Amino acid sequence: MTKTQNIFTVDLEEWFVVEALAGRHALDDWPSLPSRVINNSLRLLEMLKRHNVRATWFVLGWCAERYPDLIQEIFAAGHEIGCHSYHHRRVDSLRPDQFKKDTERAVNAILGATGALPYGYRAPSWSINGDNTWAFETLAEMGFLYDSSVFPIKHDLYGWPDGPRQPFKLDFGNGHQLYELPATTYRLLGKNIPVAGGGYFRHSPYWYSRKVIQSLNDAGHPVVFYIHPWEIDPDIPRMEHLSAIQRFRTYSSTSILRYKIERLLSDFSFTTAADYLKLFRKKRIGFE
């Protein structure tokens, strides 16, 4: 296998904030819902430890505030902690001032749990796109070094089909800069096809994902892989009155994902987003 350094990321959040279930529970009800994030995150943490992989965990501020010991344990194990907003509200549903306030609250929760400020940000539901690029400058002004919120695909819930597919750097002319690490896609018949994470990895046969990731690595392209802790949990609570597509997106293949991740971690090399950026900035590849 090639030794290309890919990027392993985790969106640390509870099962009930997923986009397919969005709006079914008021924020005030969240504390009373059954929590699954601690046990699932610890299982994932153990998998990464067995394979000597450090990952970037984009942590929901609400979880950091509620479960600081969990976030501290992940941080103490050598993983990077990034920001995943506070309440998992889509950026494209917020005004700039609301976005900044939500992000500040999340950063403070993460700082309280780890004692360190996050370098990176990932928007809930990949909700930074061509219509709200102001968010990039806001993040840079707040001190973030990079973002990983762009998903250059067409999807019914999210996506920026014409967005850039490769990492790039934004200069804002006021001394602020921001690197962007888009979610990984590959080109097929003139379209961007997602492969490296979430439901796309969960629902696909492993041989297919492995082949595409290897092909991207052979072409010199690192893969940004992502997962949510609830995705390795076949026992997350079942919600009533879901459509067939909502059920498929939320519950399908959760019983086998952990085994696919074990194979992925054996077959490929991974690092954190922050370490990837240091490596490629040093080599001066793709960012100038």
pLDDT in tens, 195-219: 888 778 888 899 999 999 999 999 9
Residue type, 273: A
CA dihedral for 68, 56, 229, 76, sign (positive or negative):
negative
Highest mean pLDDT among 52-56, 164-168, 234-238: 52-56
Q: Residues 233-275: pLDDT tens digits?
A: 877 777 666 666 665 455 555 667 889 999 999 999 999 999 9
The first and second tokens of residue 172, run together, are: 């804002």
pTM: 0.91
Q: Report the pLDDT value the prediction gives residue 288, as an integer from 0 to 100.
A: 37
Percent with pLDDT over 70 in the chain: 87
Q: Name which of 143, 140, 149 is nearest 122 in CA terms.
A: 149
Q: What domains are defined for the chain?
A: 5-283 (3.20.20.370)
